[in-house]
């Protein structure tokens, strides 16, 4: 993936390129356009970016063919796109979302629930359905998510789905061992497993990766939830749990040896390992601070993760709003007396495959000694049964930060914070070459960011991250090269200028497959592209008939044809995770009907 976490993407130019496949050219569409009965076509402004002109061309042609007049508002980059979106200068915004936590609640809560981190929707019915679905599993969950999709898409048409993407990863296998490069369905790319074919190069040569966005939202994991920092923060901060490549919640490669769920599905326990220290940067090198990534840091990190007012411009609090308490367990009998659903005690589950049996649970990191049976255990509770909390803990915003490092930097009052005056932990300027450079990061993960410029970001291995285990990072140095254009990135891959390209364009798969120096990997993804209707100040904001006319103008088969079968039909952002049985079918008769109903009210 180039994971698209909230990447609102689209594109075109004034001289739009005619598309191939079954998609008609602009002139063809104009000939076939359906004029409304009054002779006045509804005018729709489509907002997008210049990076994906194919999608906006298809949307434009489909709307034009169905009787709309289309205006294009095309921005050169994500920053200017976001500014236009925030200003409300659109009827439709081409948007996309990847559920990087692997659970359906994340696919909707932040996007469509009132007050969500990225939500423009305020609908009590939608809110209720999201909350009800989040507590269910199995067939009951499927039925509730079907109700949600019916309301969100078909009844109220807040979005119009376009497609589900697959993942296509290109590897410069002439140098890098493709067997060591993972391609997870949801989580960000894991760097620590990657190795050169010649392992001697692991300590002498940098691994060169790729990212399109060079402006980083924040290196504080709770202050960003987008494609600029998701992979970077995932590799810089360890979490209590991880997602496997197929979206199972696992302790592998995390801060926990094991985790246990009490039978009430409201209490979750994690036994922590003692072989990870925070790393800081001195003289462009990673230095072991000697500060253990401890239960105290876990409590601090998750308390601020769920508190909207913990930091200025908190971007991820809704992800963790179902955490009620985070505490350190200090009485081992509290683990012995609590049962799990399968009848074992929490202590039994936590005790599996540890360096030594749990003899004592300790409150202070100073008393931790796993080899002697002294462990820290963290307990998290939720106000209602909510097993999806584990998926959220695997999200990059669940990354564990250093209480000492963060509080040393964030000395300002949050309510009076001024970005022109104050420096916040993780500010991009503090790691950017030049006068503002003052790297204060403390990394709990396998790598730490040393510095960046407009060309690339440089990371080095955390020397105190699970040293001597299979999770110790293989390569000492990672450079993330910023290349906005995907075709240019593919050329860089073919030339060996980058070693891994996470998002090979669907139309260029044959290029990778035909290059003897490259290896192509393919996987399903949770990435969904859709049209977001403007909720304020436009006719689409108030007319459900107009929104439904747009919805039924969308023919997903044309997108799938253009992408040579490498896209899948979608209904909502839930589609890759839950098969609700619903399907969107383009219907020009319904479009005419809804346009007429809309015009009758004007």
Mean pLDDT for 479-499 is: 95
Give residue-wise pLDDT tens across range 253-307: 999 999 999 999 999 999 999 999 999 999 999 999 999 999 999 999 999 999 9
The pLDDT assigned to 39 comes to: 54
Greatest CA separation for the chain? 83
Question: What integer pLDDT is reported at residue 486 of this predicted model?
Answer: 85
Domains of the chain: 26-166+525-600 (3.40.190.10), 239-275+294-401 (3.90.76.10)
- Please report, rounded to a whole number, the percentage of residues in the chain having pLDDT higher than 90: 83
Q: How far is CA 350 from the centre of its chain?
A: 29
101/83 Cα distance (integer angstroms) = 27
C-beta of residue 238 within 8 angstroms of C-beta of residue 410: no
The dihedral through the CA atoms of 208, 210, 214, 218 has a sign that is: negative
pLDDT at 479 (0 to 100): 98
pLDDT of residue 120: 83
Global confidence as pTM: 0.83
* DSSP-based helix, strand, coil % in the chain, nearest 5: 30, 20, 50
Q: Is the pLDDT of residue 10 over 90?
A: no
85 or 16, greater pLDDT: 85
**Please, are residues 444 and 400 in contact by the beta-carbon 8 Å criterion?**
yes
Q: What is the pLDDT of residues 566-575, one digit of tens each?
A: 999 999 999 9
Q: Is the pLDDT at 77 greater than 50, yes or no?
A: yes
Mean pLDDT of 456-474: 97
As to burial, measured by CB atoms within 10 angstroms (0-12 exposed, 13-18 middle, 19+ buried), residue 342 is: exposed
Mean pLDDT of 168-178: 98
Q: What is the mean pLDDT of the chain?
A: 91
Q: Stretch 337-344: mean pLDDT, rounded?
A: 94
Confidence of residue 14 (pLDDT cuts 50, 70, 90): very low
Torsion of CA 534, 531, 129, 266, to 10 degrees: -110
pLDDT in tens, 309-318: 999 989 888 8
CB 158 within 8 A of CB 152: yes
């Amino acid at each position: 993936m180039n994971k698209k976490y909230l990447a609102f993407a689209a594109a075109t130019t004034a001289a739009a390129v005619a598309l191939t496949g079954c998609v008609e050219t602009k002139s063809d569409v104009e000939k076939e356009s359906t004029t409304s009965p009054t002779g006045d076509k509804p005018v729709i402004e489509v907002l997008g970016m210049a990076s994906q002109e194919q999608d906006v061309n298809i949307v434009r042609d489909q709307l034009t063919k169905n009787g709309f007049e289309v205006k294009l508002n095309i921005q050169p980059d994500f920053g200017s796109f976001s500014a236009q979106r925030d200003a409300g200068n659109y009827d439709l915004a081409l948007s996309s979302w990847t559920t990087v936590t692997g659970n359906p609640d994340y696919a909707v809560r932040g996007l469509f629930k009132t007050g969500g981190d990225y939500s423009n929707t305020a609908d009590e019915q939608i809110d209720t359905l999201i909350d009800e679905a989040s507590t269910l599993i199995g067939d009951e969950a499927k039925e509730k998510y079907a109700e949600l999709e019916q309301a969100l898409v078909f009844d109220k048409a807040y979005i119009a789905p376009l497609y589900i993407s697959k993942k296509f990863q290109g590897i410069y296998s002439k140098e890098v061992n493709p067997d060591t490069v993972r391609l997870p369905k949801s989580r960000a790319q894991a760097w620590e497993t990657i190795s050169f074919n010649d392992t001697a190069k692991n300590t002498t040569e940098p691994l060169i990766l790729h990212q399109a966005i060079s402006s980083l939202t924040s290196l504080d994991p709770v202050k960003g939830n987008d494609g600029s920092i998701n992979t970077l923060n995932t590799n810089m901060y360890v979490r209590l749990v991880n997602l496997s490549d197929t979206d199972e919640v696992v302790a592998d490669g995390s801060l926990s040896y094991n985790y246990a769920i009490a039978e009430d599905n409201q209490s979750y326990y994690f036994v922590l390992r003692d072989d990870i220290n925070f790393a800081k940067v001195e003289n462009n090198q990673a230095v072991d601070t000697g500060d253990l990534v401890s239960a105290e840091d876990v409590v601090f990190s998750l308390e601020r993760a769920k508190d909207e007012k913990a930091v200025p411009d908190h971007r991820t609090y809704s992800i963790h709003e179902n955490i009620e308490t985070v505490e350190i367990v200090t009485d081992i009998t509290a683990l012995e007396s609590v049962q799990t659903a399968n009848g074992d005690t929490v202590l039994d589950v936590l005790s599996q495959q540890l360096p030594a049996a749990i003899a004592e649970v300790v409150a202070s990191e100073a008393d931790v000694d796993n080899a002697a049976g002294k462990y820290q255990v963290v307990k998290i509770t939720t106000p209602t049964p909510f097993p999806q909390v584990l998926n959220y803990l695997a999200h990059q915003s669940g990354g564990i930060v250093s209480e000492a490092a963060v509080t040393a930097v964030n000395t300002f009052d949050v309510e009076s914070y001024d970005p022109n005056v104050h420096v916040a932990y993780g500010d991009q300027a503090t790691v950017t070459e030049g006068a503002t450079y003052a790297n204060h990061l403390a990394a709990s993960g396998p790598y730490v960011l040393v510095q960046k410029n407009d060309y690339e970001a440089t990371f080095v291995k955390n020397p105190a991250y699970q040293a001597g285990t299979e999770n110790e990072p293989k390569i000492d140095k990672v450079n993330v090269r910023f290349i906005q254009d995907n075709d240019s990135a593919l050329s860089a891959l073919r030339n060996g200028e980058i070693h891994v390209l996470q998002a090979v364009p669907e139309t260029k798969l044959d290029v990778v497959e035909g290059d003897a120096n490259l290896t192509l990997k393919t996987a399903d993804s949770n990435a969904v592209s859709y049209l977001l209707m403007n909720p304020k100040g436009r006719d689409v904001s108030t007319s459900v008939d107009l929104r439904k006319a747009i919805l039924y103008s969308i023919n997903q088969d044309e997108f799938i044809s253009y992408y040579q079968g490498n896209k899948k039909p979608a209904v909502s952002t839930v589609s890759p995770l839950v098969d609700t049985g619903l399907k969107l079918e383009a219907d020009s008769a319904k479009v005419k009907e809804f346009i007429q109903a809309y015009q009758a009210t004007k």
